[in-house]
Structure 1
Amino acid sequence: MSTAPRLPPPRGAPALSVSDDQAPRPRLAEPTRGQPPKPLKSPLSTSSSPSPSQSPPDAAPPMASPAAPLALLILLVSLAIAAAQSGQPSSPPRNSTNISDAAALHTVFEKWGLEDGTMPQGYHPCGKLVWSNSSEMEASINCSCSSNECRITHLNVTGYRNITFIPAELFSLTELVSLDLSNNNLIGQIPPQVSNLSKLETWHFNNNRLNESFPNASALLSLQSLMIGDLDTEGYPFNFTGDWVNLSTLSLRNCGFTGKFPNQILKNLNKLTYVDLRSNNLSGSIDLQQYNSENNFNGSLPDQMPQSLEAQLADPVSFAVNCGGKQYTPPSDPSTMFNDDSANLGAADFHVDTNNNWVVSHVGTDPFSNSSGIVTTGNGTNMPELYRTARTSTGSLWYYVVGLPSGKYTVQLFFAEIVIESGSGRRLFNIDIQDRNIMTDFDISKEAGGSNRPINRNYTADVTTSVLKIHLYWNGRGTCCIPHNGTYGPLVSAIRVFPSAETQASPPPAAHTSRHDEKRRGVVAGIAALSIAATVISSSAVYLWWKWVSLVKHRKA
């Protein structure tokens, strides 16, 4: 059977080769004159196709790697995203800080040395919140955020002794509900612009050196806690006009207030649970069961006094007490025994030791501390045992020695600062002996050359009425909260009293008559009564604290 002759392809058309079974063959480029045709390359091929001399004429070209198109696609998408973002600014966070608040805070912090330079673009302090947070210093804020911005509501900057002024920009933070600038070194006047902060609920400016008149704060109707103290001035009248119906904590100690105390203020403050007006010069009559002070208040004392203070007392030649600790006899001086003084006096109480003729009375409480009034330390293995415990108070400590023969006595006070171990904290208090001021702003660490270092101070006192009175009390100065709340007021490790002429033989005590016994019992009862009077007069904080506890329990019920 004959076959039809094959016709040549049209001029310029690619040559086709068809096998007997009519299977298609790869298309070839038009051959160049004098050269064999070359197979076409796949656009996805990474290597050259074999020449006709190396592969059968009907072999298919090699397949591309399957990862190559995916990598190319990822590269193209990345380039597209980068190109789309190249000409556009980055979008701000959804909750950015209010521009006015951010600018005011940055200016305040820059003037206080907490931040440097100009405010960066997109400054968002509500995304940071804390600049410093230690037992000594704190710089922090808190914010309230809506769907599109945050407002600064809390500002705490405490413990910075280099901060001496209040920038005016601070009072542009009109959303503040809490402002704590205590324990700095602020001087001058409390700016009247504080009335701009009408939403304030907590305002603490205590423990600074502000020295001008107190501003009118009548606009601060939301106040719940007001603590402003240590104004370095005197003679200002107590003339608040604020209708602070929500106030629960009021501390205005050592503000130099004078004049008659306006009782109407207390009557209007039905939510008041803590009051402190110590170290002012207020006068007048006041309900002593509801208020405290170390002022010139007068009022009625309770009729009931202890009826069981009788004891057979011997006139002591010397006296020693381990303040805050158990009975102790130093190995180096076995002839001296320091009496036990470990009774927990709580916020305000007294203890009578009828066996050893002495009384200790304590008045003082802090609304943010639950201290027992006794502190101990395990630091310093070389610290003598006598200094490892101490009695302290946020108000006053009285020690009375009863039944001493008339004469001159040496009062030896033992100190060691075992609570404040940082240079940022300062414990300052006054010492009176026999109602005479002996030391003002006594600083244990300064006198001893550091913390955990024992130091003794000797003073001479005249006894003419059989009673020696030692009074250590806080005068409103020093720090209040380093290393924790309630770290202020007097601290004493031990007390020893002995006749100044110790080398001379003391005469034996005279035989006790019933009249003498009655006199001594009267002295002890009188001292106890005095302690109770001081407790009642100076412990409204206790009463109000109990009231606060009952209110809290009532609210939780």
Structure 2
Amino acid sequence: MARSAPAVAAVFLLVLALLTLGTAQGQQPPFGQPTNAADAVALRAVFQRWRLGGNAAGVDQCPVVLAESFAMNVFVGCDCSRGGECRITDLNVTGYKNITEIPRELFNLTELVSLDLSNNNLSGSIPPEVGNLSKLEIWHFNNNNLSGSFPHELSLLRNLQSLWMFDNYIEGPIPESIQNLTNLTDLRIYGMKLQGPIPKKFSTLSNLEVLMLGDLEGNSSFNFIGEWRNLSALSLRNCGLTGQVTPQNLPKLKYLDLTRNNLSSSIEGLLLPYKNSNYIYVGENNFSGRLPPEIIQPSLALDVSYNPFVYGNLSNLVGQPMYKFLSFSCENVTILNCLRMKECNRRTLTNSATSFAINCGGRQIDYSDPMPTVFSEDSTDLGGAGFHINTTSHWVVSHAGSDPFNKSTGIVNGSNISGTNMPELFKTARTSTSSLRYYVLGLANGNYTVKLFFAEIVITDGPGQRLFDIDIQDKNIRKDFDITKEAQGPRIATNITHDVIVDNSILVIHLYWSGRGTCCIPYKGAYGPLVKCLIFSVTRSQEPKISPPQAPHSDSARQDEKRRGVIAGIAALCIAAAVISSSIVYLWWKWVSLVKRSMA
């Protein structure tokens, strides 16, 4: 046994030397297998069209050897299990802004099982040759500049399990042919120019686990939900849904988003079947009725805001660290009632503010240069749905939204921010994957200048892009706002200045995601609005005007009004009598004068 060890070592060294010699002479290692000739020709042509020539040389052998500089953004997978030559089965090329076209040669890779071309700059329409890829199980074309409509050949992809087609410019109706893709488990189509209605036969997609549709023009009815017993995430945000919602049998549902539709039904009948879910967002609809108390629980993030006919009681929740409920229909929270009751701020707040500043996502910071400014603390973790009331300065921050696949505190940290003389402010920011609102209450009416401060401190490398919309006083001031583009780079401070008129003592700033931008770079849930801080101050060219409160209408007040009315009436009669008497005296004097003149 002692003599065999050197022999084994000698054999090992001999094999290693042969491998090294073969590699030095330009030969491939013996564990590599040749790629199918047609696949190699097609892949080489695709790489050359995309100017990825450094990868084209290695396509004749599987596994395909990629240049180190491309390894993070390019992946080529092979299947060599059939013996002999290998077939190309996976092609993932993402994050190249210089890739602008879909080469026709791509569709000669007929054994592709996975095709991911997300986060590039592809333009034009999807070629009908996509029907050649009948073995596709994963097809991700999201976050490009594709236009036109879905090709009819989409219906040929019967093996498709995951289809991501969002943040493009594809238009036309949602293709009914999707109903034929019965193996789909993950379907995401939003942030484009598609039109409803959602085809009723989508109900046949019985294997769905994730369905995310959104940003549809036109109207749809809620009649396409099937027996989706495996569905865990259902997002139908801004789909033009109208009418009644009938509870469905979705036993595994953990995430439900019906925000920004026109749905109406009993809020109790809608919510109770899903009381064991983790996230329910049904804000900005027309639901009605009493919010069932059993639905309000620490484990559920719930948003029913902006449903004018929903009522409930928040008095037992405010101040509790684990509440997950957001509604402005409450009766016992005074400062929230001020958001919906006309004149309430002028009745309940004694000191009308004219300027204010908030450090969104951070602690209180005092600055003295260039002018004294106190940025109020705004560091509360709002969870998946919640609000924080600053009772000292009378402002509210509310948040609704959570990525179905990643939990976030809504507070993010950054460093090394340039372009500002207030670097301490930019160490944190508040973010949301859906909707973020700031309300300032009790303002003196007048003209204000609002400043919003931003710096992209999350998506700082790679092909990720954050886009969101900004409304002030319910008017859109920015569509698809891109912080990095505005600041000309990440980690650079920038701001927006906007003049606004406050005429009801309330200022509302709304930042929200509209389906655009990347979803998962550098991590899942890295999308939606992000704001660093905000400042609003009165414009000195017009002094604020505070409307005086109306006098209370008590019984004594009514009696005083009657007394004042009687006195005013008597005064009016006295004045009228004096005028009449003066007129009679004047006329009598004129008559006497005329008589004397005629007798003379």
TM-score of the superposed pair, with normalisation by structure 2: 0.62
1:104 and 2:48 matched: no
Asked whether 1:214 is paired with 2:150, we answer yes
Cα distance change on mapping 1:208 and 1:379 into 2, 3 Å: same
Describe the shift of the 1:90–1:190 C-alpha distance in structure 2 as closer, same or farther (beyond 3 A).
closer
1:128 equivalent to 2:65? Answer yes
Structure 1 position 506, deviation (Å): 7.4
The within-5 A match list for 1:479-490 is: 479-490=518-529
Conserved in 1, the CA contact under 8 Å of 2:119 and 2:143?
Answer: yes
Mapped contact 1:257–1:282 kept (Cα < 8 A): no
Q: How far off its partner does 1:355 sit?
A: 4.8
Q: 1:307 aligns with which of 314, 330, 334?
A: 314
Q: Is the 8 A contact 1:130 1:139 kept in 2?
A: no
List aligned pairs for 1:285-300, cutoff 5 A. 285-286=221-222, 290-297=234-241, 298-300=262-264
Residues 431 and 159 of structure 1: is their aligned pair in 2 closer, same or farther, counting only changes over 3 Å? same
Which amino acid in 1 is paired with 2:183?
N
Partner in structure 2 of residue 529 of structure 1:
none
How far apart are the structure 2 equivalents of 1:459 and 1:149? Answer: 64
Report the Cα distance in structure 2 between the residues aligned to 1:474 and 1:104, rounded to whole angstroms.
39
Alignment correspondent of 1:187 = 123
What is the alpha-carbon distance in structure 1 between the residues aligned to residue 466 and residue 42 of structure 2? Answer: 34
User: Partners of 2:450 and 2:56 in 1: how far apart?
Assistant: 59
Q: Does structure 1 residue 242 correspond to structure 2 residue 242?
A: no
Q: Which residue of 2 aligns with 1:361?
A: 398
State the distance in 1 between where 2:392 and 2:158 align.
Answer: 55
Match of 1:339 in 2: 376
**Does the 8 A contact of 2:480 with 2:516 survive in 1?**
yes
Following TM superposition, by how much is the alpha carbon of 1:386 offset from its aligned partner in structure 2, in angstroms? Answer: 1.3
Give the CA deviation at 1:188. Answer: 0.8
Q: Is contact 2:471–2:511 with CA below 8 Å preserved after alignment?
A: yes
Gaps of 5+ in 1: 1-88, 516-557
Q: Hey, what's the Cα distance between the residues in 2 that align with 1:354 and 1:416?
A: 28
Match of 1:243, as an amino acid? N
Pair 502,376 (structure 1): closer, same or farther in 2 beyond 3 Å: farther
2:165 to 225, 228, 231: 228
The residue identity in structure 1 corresponding to 2:236 is N
What does residue 199 of structure 1 align with? 135
Number of matched pairs = 423
Whole-Å Cα distance in 2 between the matches of residues 504 and 118 of structure 1?
Answer: 69
Tell me which moved more, 293-302 or 496-505.
Answer: 496-505
Shift of residue 227, structure 1, vs aligned partner: 0.9
Aligned match for 2:441, one of 394, 397, 402: 402
Compared with structure 1, are the counterparts of its residues 401 and 100 closer, same or farther at alpha carbon in structure 2 (3 Å cutoff)? same
1:281 CA displacement: 1.5
- Compare the two structures and name the one with the higher helix fraction: 2
Pick closer, same or farther for the CA change 1:386–1:197 going to 2, 3 Å: same
Q: After TM superposition, give the deviation of residue 327 of structure 1 in Å.
A: 2.9
2:429 aligned with 1:390, yes or no?
Answer: yes
Q: Does 1:374 align with 2:309?
A: no
Work out which of the residue numbers 114, 125, 144 in structure 1 matches 2:79: 144
Mapped to 1, the partners of 2:534 and 2:551 lie a distance apart of 27
Partner of 1:413: 452
Instruction: Report the Cα offset of residue 284 of structure 1.
Output: 2.6
- 2:51 aligned with 1:113: yes
8 Å contact kept, 2:447–2:544: no
Per-residue Cα deviation, 1:151-191 (whole angstroms, up to 9, x for no partner): 22221101111111111221222222211101111111112
3-state DSSP of counterpart to 2:53? coil
Contact 2:447–2:501, Cα closer than 8 Å, also in 1:
yes
Asked if 1:275 corresponds to 2:211, the answer is yes
Change (3 A) 1:101 1:93: farther
The alignment partner of 1:242 has SS state of: helix
Distance of aligned partners of 1:362 and 1:215 in 2 relative to their CA distance in 1, 3 Å threshold: farther
- Shift of the 473–125 alpha-carbon distance from structure 1 to 2, 3 Å rule, reads farther
2:198 is equivalent to residue 261 of structure 1: yes
Task: Describe the shift of the 1:448–1:118 C-alpha distance in structure 2 as closer, same or farther (beyond 3 A).
Answer: closer
Amino acid at match of 2:166: G
Task: Tell me if the contact between 1:383 and 1:453 (Cα under 8 Å) persists in the aligned partners.
Answer: no
Q: Distance in 2 between matches of 1:355 and 1:277?
A: 41
Matching residue of 1:530: none
% same residue: 47
Q: Which residue of 2 aligns with 1:66?
A: none
> Partners of 2:234 and 2:464 in 1: how far apart?
32
Q: Is the 8 A contact 2:196 2:216 kept in 1?
A: no
Query: Considering only CA atoms, is the larger Rg found in Structure 1 or Structure 2?
Result: 1
Q: Distance in 2 between matches of 1:206 and 1:480?
A: 9
Alpha-carbon distance in 2 for matches of 1:338, 1:350? 19
Q: Which residue of 2 aligns with 1:21?
A: none
Cα offset, 1:361, TM superposition: 3.3
Cα deviation 1:12-49 (Å, max 9, x = unaligned): xxxxxxxxxxxxxxxxxxxxxxxxxxxxxxxxxxxxxx
Among 537, 541, 565, which residue is 1:498 paired with?
537
Question: 1 CA distance for matches of 2:544 and 2:28?
Answer: 91
> Amino acid of the residue matched to residue 214 of structure 1?
F
Q: Deviations over 1:477-535 (max 9, x none)?
A: 444444444433321101222322388587699699899xxxxxxxxxxxxxxxxxxxx
Q: Which moved more, 1:435-444 or 1:286-295?
A: 286-295
Deviation digits for residues 350-376 of structure 1 (CA, Å, limit 9, x no counterpart): 444455433333344445544433211
2:263 counterpart letter in structure 1 = G
Distance change >3 Å, CA 498–CA 372, structure 1 → 2: same
Quote the Cα distance in structure 1 between the aligned partners of 2:442 and 2:196.
39
Quote how far apart the aligned CAs of 1:229 are: 1.7
Provide the C-alpha distance between the structure 1 equivalents of 2:214 and 2:388, rounded to a whole number of angstroms. Answer: 23
Partner amino acid for 2:381? N
- 2:12 aligns to what? none
Query: Are 2:32 and 2:62, in contact at CA under 8 Å, matched by a contact in 1?
Result: no
TM (norm. structure 1) is 0.66
Amino acid in structure 2 at the alignment position of 1:164:
T
Deviation at 1:322, TM superposition (A): 1.7
Q: Counterparts of 1:510 and 1:180 in 2: how far apart (Å)?
A: 62
2:365–2:374 Cα contact (<8 Å) kept: yes
Partner amino acid for 2:394?
N
Aligned equivalents of 2:380, 2:523: Cα separation in 1: 23
Maintained 8 Å contact 1:398/1:470: yes
Aligned-pair distance for 1:141? 1.3
Question: What CA distance in whole angstroms lies between the structure 1 residues aligned with 2:263 and 2:386?
Answer: 20
